[in-house]
Structure formats: C-alpha cells, structure tokens
Amino acid sequence: MKKTALIIAVAISSFSFLSCKKENPVSTDSALAPAQPNGDGIIFGRNGDGGPECPATNVVLYAGQTINAGSVTVTNDADFIYVTYTTANGYLLTQTHLYVGDCALIPVNNPGNPIPGQFPYAGTHNYASTYTYQVPISAISAGSCGCIAAHAVVVKLNASGQVVETQTGWGNGVRINLSGGNWGMKFDYCSCTPSL
C-alpha cells in the first residue's frame, strides 16, 4: 500500500514538473543532481516538488564587456535558488563559476577583484547552450536580498567545430571592484517566499 502511494506521489510530482511552463527552456540531456561546491553539481529544472517558483530576475550575459552572449536567469522556490546561464548569438559555454549570497562575502583578491576560481559553484561544459545550478535557499533566505556573481567562459565555433573566439563573460550588474581593476560584476537578487 505504501509503495503504491509512493509511486502515485512520484507520478503526480513528475506530471507537475513536466507541465510547468518555464521562461527559459533548459537542457534535458543531463541528469538531475544537486549542485556541489566546486564540482559538477548541476540541476536542469527544479526540485520536483510541484511547488511554484518565484518570478525570475533576468540579466544579460556580457562577454568581452560589451557583447550580448546570452542571459543569466535567477528564480527560487521554497527550497532552492535556480541560476540558469543561457547563451545566444552563436556563443557556447565552456566554464561557469557562480557565487550566491552576502554581497560582502564574494571572494576577492587584495586589490578587490573577484576570484571566480574561488566561487563556491563551478562547472566545465562541453559547448553547452544552457546550464542551471540549484543552490540551497539558505544562500539568500526567502524574503531577503543578496548578490549573484555569475562568471562564464564562452566560445564561438566555426563550421568544423573549431574554437574561433573565446571570451570571458559576466552577468550584467555593477562592478565588484568599484575602484577599478577587472570588470567582474555582481547583481542583486531578492528571494521571495513562494505561495502554494
């Protein structure tokens, strides 16, 4: 009896998850797994509980400071913050580094420039067009505000699949180092408390 109830609950959750319309489609060719600090912890989609997500915050993913290479979209539900990198204009992802949390705690060096290699979430990608991290809501608890620093390395390929351009990218916001230095950026995100 318990096994049948569990199967029905999983089926309902799966149906709710699959029927939910997302603002940005995400790849389904990768397995669902919780994000792990400095690892391959990626999640495509949501946690599968069928609960609603909060409205999305969208910023441009700028490459080389001025090139629109796609977008970074952030939303949350009761348990997780979802940060999705989506490329555009022929660019593809090869690396991502992500910080979510207190603005004052973004890893920086002595001059105040961000150090993406020390961000708590990172991934290497094989020319992906979209990539989503699932970060525990405790990073920016429901109803509070913090910062997102979304760094990427993007490339363009020629018809033979060879890399012909490589750029550093950041989710559009304000410079982390306001006194100069590199152009690494952060943007504000306020998590909401989803209504069920």
**Does residue 109 belong to any structural domain of this protein?**
yes
99: phi then psi, degrees, rounded to nearest 5: -120, 135
Rg over alpha carbons for the chain, rounded to the nearest Å, is 17
- Is residue 195 a part of any domain in this protein? no
Give pTM, 2 decimals.
0.75
- Taking the C-alpha atoms of residue 18 and residue 24, their distance in angstroms, rounded to an integer, is 14
Domain count, the chain: 1
**Whole-angstrom distance, CA of residue 120 vs CA of residue 114:** 13
What pLDDT, on a 0 to 100 scale, did the predictor assign at position 25?
Answer: 30
pLDDT (tens digit, 9 = 90+) per residue, 11-24? 333 333 333 322 33
Q: Is residue 35 part of a domain?
A: yes
Candidates 125, 119, 53; CA nearest to 85 is 125
Domain membership flag for residue 196? no
Q: What is the pLDDT of residues 57-100, one digit of tens each?
A: 999 999 999 999 999 999 999 999 999 999 999 999 999 999 99
Give the pLDDT confidence score for residue 155 in this predicted structure: 98
Could you tell me the two tokens for 3? Answer: 């096994």
| pLDDT tens digits along 32-58 | 233 433 333 333 334 334 445 678 999
Q: Assign 137 to helix, strand or coil.
A: helix
**Range(s) of the domain holding residue 54:** 2-190
